[in-house]
């Protein structure tokens, strides 16, 4: 080996080392700022308390749009704008009623129920019928139209508590909520009751989206609390003729105008390379939407604020995107991707935070092997901050439509254990959010954006 080569190799090592030290220092500064002077929690508290529930098409959603714009303008991002998008407009109406009418054992008992998002109403006279319990669509089909006709179908397959990743358990049960009404209506059912998507014995129901299909009758769909699901199931074992009364006043209105809200710091060198970081601004109507997904929104804003507070001038363009309508339509995510394509924008990466503001575990990824390898190469920089899981596939619902254009999909991955205790329930409030856990999530996302901005993903 000649001397020149040795010197060059030596210089290479020095450069690499210096770079690594700069990276470590950059990440450390981001965490220091987020944990000492972070604004994530203050923002989320404001959104939860002063805006509150913000279902697509509601006054709350409109207020949240203005709130996001105002917050990002106040922080002085380079540009802040709204993207108009038409969204589904569903209203719950007055408090639902669920009632066991005639139990021989316990008489008349109220059930803790709520309409699923998208459901039609029962009409003012409600629906009274006997109930048939099933655990799966297969079981329902085997029972057939003769058994189901005129009945209320009660879907009661619990989430599997033995799955360590609670999202896996959710995935294994949620088709009952989404498609239960369609499958039951095909066989002549008059309504469905769905066991709430929760792992505990709880007093409150979990709402969430359901859908109808063309040519299948639309029937009301309500969630019942896990505690009352167990009660109902127990009674049905001995009382086959048990009758339940359901009443809800939900309505599907005409689509309503709304907006995605976007804030941007424009890149200094490669401004056409865009890194998205986002969450969804809409929430269910029953709660403050603190974890789902106020957390993801304020964390995304905080990423840009951290860059500004630390004087980091990104080479690439960084956008915080508050998507509208993830919960019941995904119209915001679709619109964002549609506009990106129309403008021929180059979104090199999109990061979504929509798994709650819990303590960090890592990032999920979908993309080429090269992209995954590049992100994983930063693991030594991120692991000291509790980010050790880089093996799961996935991005996020709102950013999903960008994938078709080759954007690398990345999901912020917090711990999943507490999420389904509060998901889509009145318990999803600011009080269920831990300040440090939320801040660590913001810092994790900012650190990853910092590295993607420095090195790209190629």
List the one residue out of 317, 318, 290, 315 whose CA is nearest residue 434: 290
Out of 143, 310, 415, 456, the only residue in the binding site for a copy of itself (CB under 8 A) is: 415
State which of residues 1, 164, 342, 404 lies at the interface with a copy of itself (CB under 8 A).
164
Regarding 388 and contact with a copy of itself (CB under 8 A), the answer is: yes
- Min dist. Cβ of residue 436 to a copy of itself (A): 5
Rule CB under 8 A: is residue 436 a binding residue for a copy of itself?
A: yes
| Phi, psi for residue 388 in degrees, rounded to 5 | -120, -10
Question: In 3D, which of 37, 17, 18, 26 has the Cα closest to residue 450?
Answer: 26
Q: For a copy of itself, which is the closer residue by CB, 266 or 392?
A: 392
At its nearest, how many Å lie between a copy of itself and the CB of residue 33? 9
- 273 included as an active-site residue: no
45 vs 92, beta carbon nearer a copy of itself: 45
H-helix segments, 47-101: 59-74
Q: Is 199 in the site for a copy of itself (CB under 8 A)?
A: yes
With CB under 8 A as the rule, give the number of residues binding a copy of itself: 26
Q: Provide the minimum distance between the beta carbon of 437 and a copy of itself in the complex, in angstroms, as a whole number.
A: 5
Tell me whether residue 103 or residue 416 sits nearer to a copy of itself (CB atom): 416
The tokens of 206 are what?
């979990």
Stretch that binds a copy of itself, among 61-69, 141-149, 238-246, 385-393 (CB under 8 A): 385-393
Residue 46 binds a copy of itself (CB under 8 A): no
Phi–psi pair at 23, nearest 5 degrees? -65, -50
Q: 33, 326, 345, 437: which is the annotated catalytic residue?
A: 326
Instruction: CB nearer to a copy of itself: give 65 or 387.
Output: 387
78 is a contact residue toward a copy of itself (CB under 8 A): no
Interface with a copy of itself includes 434 (CB under 8 A)? yes
Alpha-carbon gap, residue 250 to 7, rounded angstroms: 74
Q: Which of residues 275-334 bind a copy of itself (CB under 8 A)?
A: none
What are the structure tokens assigned to 400, written together? 């999903």
Buried b (16+ CB within 10 A) or exposed e, 338-371: eebeeeebebbbbbbbbbbbbbbbbbbbbbeeeb
CA distance 57 to 55: 6
Other beta carbons less than 10 A from residue 78's beta carbon: 14
Nearest Cα neighbor of 415 from 430, 397, 436 is 436
Site string for a copy of itself, 333-372 (x = CB under 8 A): --------------------------x-x-----------
Report the C-alpha gap between 93 and 285 in whole angstroms: 11
Q: Which of 384, 393, 405, 406 binds a copy of itself (CB under 8 A)?
A: 384
* CB contact at 8 A, 166 and 420: yes
Which range in 72-80, 93-101, 160-168, 208-216 contacts a copy of itself by CB under 8 A? 160-168
- Token pair, residue 14, equals 């020095």
DSSP string, 11-37: HHHHHHHHHHHHHHHHHHHHHHHHHHH
Contact between 230 and a copy of itself by CB under 8 A: the answer reads no
Q: Nearest approach, Cβ of 246 to a copy of itself (angstroms)?
A: 30
Residues at the interface with a copy of itself (CB under 8 A): 31-32, 35-36, 161-162, 164, 166, 199-200, 359, 361, 384-386, 388-389, 415, 417-418, 421, 434-437, 440
Which residues does the annotation mark as catalytic?
Answer: 326
């Amino acid at each position: 080996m000649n001397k020149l080569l040795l010197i060059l190799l030596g210089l290479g090592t020095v450069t690499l080392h210096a770079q690594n030290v700069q990276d470590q220092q950059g990440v450390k500064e981001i965490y220091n700022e987020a944990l000492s002077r972070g604004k994530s929690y203050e923002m989320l508290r404001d959104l939860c308390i002063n805006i509150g529930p913000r279902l697509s098409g509601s006054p709350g959603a409109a207020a949240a749009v203005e709130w996001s714009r105002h917050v990002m303008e106040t922080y002085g991002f380079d540009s802040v704008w709204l993207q108009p998008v038409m969204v589904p407009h569903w209203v719950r109406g007055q408090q639902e009623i669920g009632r066991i009418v005639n139990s021989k054992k316990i008489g008349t008992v109220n059930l803790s129920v709520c309409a699923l998002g998208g459901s039609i109403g029962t009409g003012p006279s409600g629906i009274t019928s006997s109930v048939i319990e099933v655990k799966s669509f297969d079981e329902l089909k085997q029972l057939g139209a003769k058994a189901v006709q005129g009945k209320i179908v009660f879907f009661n397959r619990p989430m599997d508590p033995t799955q360590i990743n609670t999202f896996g358990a959710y995935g294994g049960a949620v088709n009952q909520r989404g498609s239960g009404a369609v499958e039951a209506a095909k066989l002549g059912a008059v309504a469905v009751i769905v066991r709430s998507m929760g792992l505990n014995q709880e007093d409150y129901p979990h709402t969430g989206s359901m859908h109808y299909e063309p040519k299948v009758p639309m029937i009301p769909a309500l969630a019942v609390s896990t505690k009352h699901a167990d009660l109902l199931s127990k009674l049905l074992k001995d009382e086959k003729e048990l009758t339940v009364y359901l009443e809800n006043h939900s309505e599907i209105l005409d689509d309503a105008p709304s907006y995605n809200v976007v804030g941007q710091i424009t890149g200094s060198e490669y401004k056409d390379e865009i890194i998205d970081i986002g969450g969804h601004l809409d929430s269910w109507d029953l709660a403050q939407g603190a974890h789902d997904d106020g957390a993801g929104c304020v964390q995304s804003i905080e990423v840009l604020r951290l860059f500004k507070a630390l004087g980091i001038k990104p080479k690439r363009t960084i956008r915080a995107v508050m998507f509208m309508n993830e919960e019941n339509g995904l119209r915001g995510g679709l619109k964002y991707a549609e506009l990106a394509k129309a403008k021929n924008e180059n979104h090199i990466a999109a990061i979504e935070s929509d798994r709650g503001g819990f303590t960090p575990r890592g990032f999920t990824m979908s993309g080429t092997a090269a992209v995954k390898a590049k992100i994983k190469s930063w693991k030594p920089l991120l692991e000291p901050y509790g980010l050790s899981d880089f093996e799961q596939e996935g991005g996020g619902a709102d950013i999903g439509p960008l994938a078709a254009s080759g954007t690398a999909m990345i999901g912020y991955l917090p711990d999943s254990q507490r999420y389904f205790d509060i998901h889509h329930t009145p318990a999803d409030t600011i009080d269920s959010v831990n300040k440090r856990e939320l801040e660590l999530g913001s810092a994790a996302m900012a650190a990853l954006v910092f590295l993607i901005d420095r090195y790209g993903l190629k």
